[in-house]
Amino acid sequence: MKSLRALLAIGAAALAQVLLVGHLPALARYCDLFLIVVVYFGLTRPPATAMTTGAGAGLVEDALIGSILGLNGFKKTLLGYLVASFGALFMLNQTVPRFGILFLATVLDPFVELGLSLALGRAFDIPGALDLVWRGLGNGVFGLLFFWVAARLP
């Protein structure tokens, strides 16, 4: 049942992300639904579920956006683990802490990719600070909306 929920969440995120990229590209820039799904599972599920969901979401994202297969899988797996570990240590079931985690995960994401790119000898331009802040705020707002909707699902 947990796996089915994770699969449905990834599928829904993929659909919504494609819709956003296709029709509201300006908004899609500040809304990473795969990351939001990973953070959600990280804060509400055990680390193993969060990591597998992260790996699955990342691989689907790679398949969808055509990047190096495994790149987003790696990032999202690591993020899932970190968020789940962090969530196990602290109470993060309130709005402000959730927003903070979403923000931090967004900021951390390009740095993980930077590290990977360095390790693999690839070029990678890290986004500007202001851009990162906007992305963090966007993911924070959309993430809270996702949490609100998910809490009302059966």
Partner 1 sequence: MALLIAERKPSLLLLALLAGNLVLMSSRLRGGGRGSLLQDSVLAIGAPFLGAASWVAGGVGGTWSSYVDLRGAAQENARLHQRLTVLAEQANAGEETRQELARLRDLLGLKAGTPFETVAARVIGKESAEGARVFLIDRGRADKIRPNQPVVTPRGVVGRVIDVSASASKVQTILDPNSAVAAIVQRTRVQGIVVGAGENGLRMEYVSDLVPIEVGDVVVTSGLDQIHPKGGILGIVVAVGQGDGLTQVIEIRPEVDFRRVEEILVVLKPEGDPGEAAQ
User: Is residue 8 part of the contact set for partner 1 (CB under 8 A)?
Assistant: no
What ranges in the chain are assigned the alpha helix state H? 2-23, 25-28, 33-44, 47-65, 71-89, 95-120, 129-151
For partner 1, give the closer residue by CB, 24 or 145: 24
State the CB neighbour count (10 A cutoff) for residue 47: 18
The distance from CA 113 to its chain's CA centroid, rounded to whole angstroms, is: 13
Closest to partner 1 by CB, 52 or 134: 52
The residue among 60 and 132 lying less far from partner 1, judged by its C-beta, is 60
Binding partner 1 (rule: CB under 8 A), the pick from 6, 71, 92, 101 is 71
Q: In the bound complex, what is the minimum distance in angstroms from residue 109's beta carbon to partner 1?
A: 14
**Phi, psi torsion values for 70, nearest 5 degrees:** 110, -20
Count of positions on this chain that bind partner 1 (CB under 8 A)? 36
Candidates 84, 101, 108, 132: give the one binding partner 1 (CB under 8 A): 84
Q: Which is nearer to partner 1, 40 or 99 (CB)?
A: 40
* Conformation bin of residue 88: beta by default, left when phi > 0, alpha when psi is -120 to 50: alpha
62 binding partner 1? (CB under 8 A)? yes
First to last CA, the chain: 12
Subset of 98-137 contacting partner 1 (CB under 8 A): 116, 120, 122
User: Binding of partner 1 at residue 44 (CB under 8 A)?
Assistant: no
